[in-house]
Structure 1
Amino acid sequence: MKTIMATCRHRVLWGLLLLMWAGLCLPVCVEVPSGTEAVQGHNMTLLCISCMQREEVYAVTNVEWYYQPRNGNRSLIFEYNEGKTREHLSPFKGRLQWIGSKDLQDVSLILHNVTITDSGLYICIVNRTLHFEAHQHSTMSNVEIDLMVSEIQREDFTSVLSEIMMYILLAFLTLWLLIEVVYCYRKISKAEEVTQESVTDYLAIPSENKESCPVPVEEQ
């Protein structure tokens, strides 16, 4: 009986873990690519995620955002330095909003009121200085976003399909977990019935014959 219950608990626990994993797809920092299509008059998130692999190490992070138009030169439009943000003189002046996270692994911007002329290449450069006990180490990473602005919003079938697949996965895991619970319940109930029947049969044996009758032993 104990073996059956332990096995059932193990299977149900694995089901719960899988269900939790499916519901919490991003428990840690994941470098997700930014969208590359925007709609005129709407806001656009310029996503820049640069994960730091050694979170236990103190680090100083500086961020620079550049913009390069089609067939044009690159120019600095936004800067994060020593905890302060600064917008540089550009066509985006007053339309850029810093939405970076506290740990500075997400250093994204929101571009408000997008226009057709905002199409072009956006470059996010992240400089980190890791402070170890004996030395310092500098790293640099960059993310490029080739943005295309359109007048009418187009349906994103990829995101819709991904969302549908996620709901299907959650439904499947929930159904599988329910089946496991029912299966384990029936198996435990059956084992209890067999044990009860064995005990009842033993009690029904006359006293003079019990010495030669083995006592039913519960399965371990």
Structure 2
Amino acid sequence: ILKLLTHSFKSIERRRIVFKLPQCQTGCAEVDSMTEAVAGKGFLLGCISCKRREEVPGSAIVDWHYKAAGSEEFIHIFQYEYNNPIILHENFEGRLEWKGTMGTKDAQIGSVFIHNVTYNDTGTYLCTFHRTLYLPLNEEHVVISKEVELTVVENANPELTAVISEIMMYVLIAVLQLWMIGVLIYCYRKIYAENEAREARKALKDPCDGIYLE
């Protein structure tokens, strides 16, 4: 039971992302990106833009821009267009990797992975989908932008849900242990009472029972 409880709470801890499913949407979930990276490690900049009507063909170009902390201007750092990822700024050369939709012109996942994060990567990242929908009578152009405020830290901070999960796990373990102790005490008292009753019945038994006169 303890192993099951521990596994359950570890599963809850891992579920740190809330999925927001748009109405009438299947096969795509818009997920908010994490916002805290650890220096020296990798980090996934999440960006998803789901189509409202899957049956409409389309194509998309994904752009990433970056604005350093304290700066007022965005710089163009990355672009993806149908299996052609391009790193556009020297500060990110060799460190950005496309983790979005592959094999189709109509990308809905525009995430990129930053290798070897540094403190200089702290800032605002802007993900922009330039989507063209090919409707029967004409084309429709849609632009969707999402921002990610990234903070780089030395060590990962435990999230509130993880802390609460761990506290609840220990509380349940303590309650379970108290319950088991209570069950043992109850069983012991019941057995003791039965033994006392049996001894009392023996004491009240007729002493002449089992004696036969010839």
Instruction: Place the TM-score, normalised by the shorter chain, in its bin.
Output: 0.5 to 0.7
Instruction: Pick which of 127-136 and 149-158 moved more.
Output: 149-158
Secondary structure of the structure 1 residue equivalent to 2:90: coil
CA contact (8 A) 2:31 2:48 kept: yes
Give the superposition deviation at 1:94. Answer: 0.6
Secondary structure of the structure 1 residue equivalent to 2:91: coil
Q: In 2 relative to 1, CA 85–74 (structure 1 residues): closer, same or farther, beyond 3 Å?
A: same
Q: Aligned pair 1:123/2:126, yes or no?
A: yes
Give distance in 1, aligned partners of 2:166 and 2:58: 36
* Structure 2 residue identity aligned to 1:84: N
User: Structure 1 or 2: larger helix share?
Assistant: 1
Give distance in 2, aligned partners of 1:135 and 1:46: 33
* Structure 2 residue identity aligned to 1:158: T
Number of residues of Structure 1 aligned to a counterpart in Structure 2: 141
Give distance in 2, aligned partners of 1:78 and 1:43: 17
1:31 aligns with: 30
The structure with the largest alpha-carbon Rg is 2
Q: List aligned pairs for 1:78-97, cutoff 5 A.
A: 78-97=78-97
Give distance in 1, aligned partners of 2:108 and 2:66: 21
Q: In 2 relative to 1, CA 134–164 (structure 1 residues): closer, same or farther, beyond 3 Å?
A: farther
**RCO comparison, higher one (Cα < 8 Å, 6+):** 1
Give distance in 1, aligned partners of 2:132 and 2:165: 37
Give the superposition deviation at 1:57. Answer: 1.1
Give the superposition deviation at 1:83. Answer: 3.4
Runs of 4+ in structure 1 off by over 3 angstroms are 25-28, 159-165
Give the superposition deviation at 1:71. Answer: 2.0
The share of aligned pairs that are identical, in percent, is 39
How well do the aligned residues superpose, as a CA RMSD in angstroms?
2.4
Q: Which runs of 5+ in 2 are unaligned?
A: 1-18, 169-214
* Structure 1 residue identity aligned to 2:122: S
Secondary structure of the structure 1 residue equivalent to 2:161: helix
* TM-score between the two structures when normalised by the length of structure 2: 0.60
Q: Which runs of 5+ in 1 are unaligned?
A: 1-24, 166-220
2:160 aligns with: 157
Give the superposition deviation at 1:70. Answer: 1.3
Q: In 2 relative to 1, CA 120–155 (structure 1 residues): closer, same or farther, beyond 3 Å?
A: same
Give the superposition deviation at 1:156. Answer: 1.7
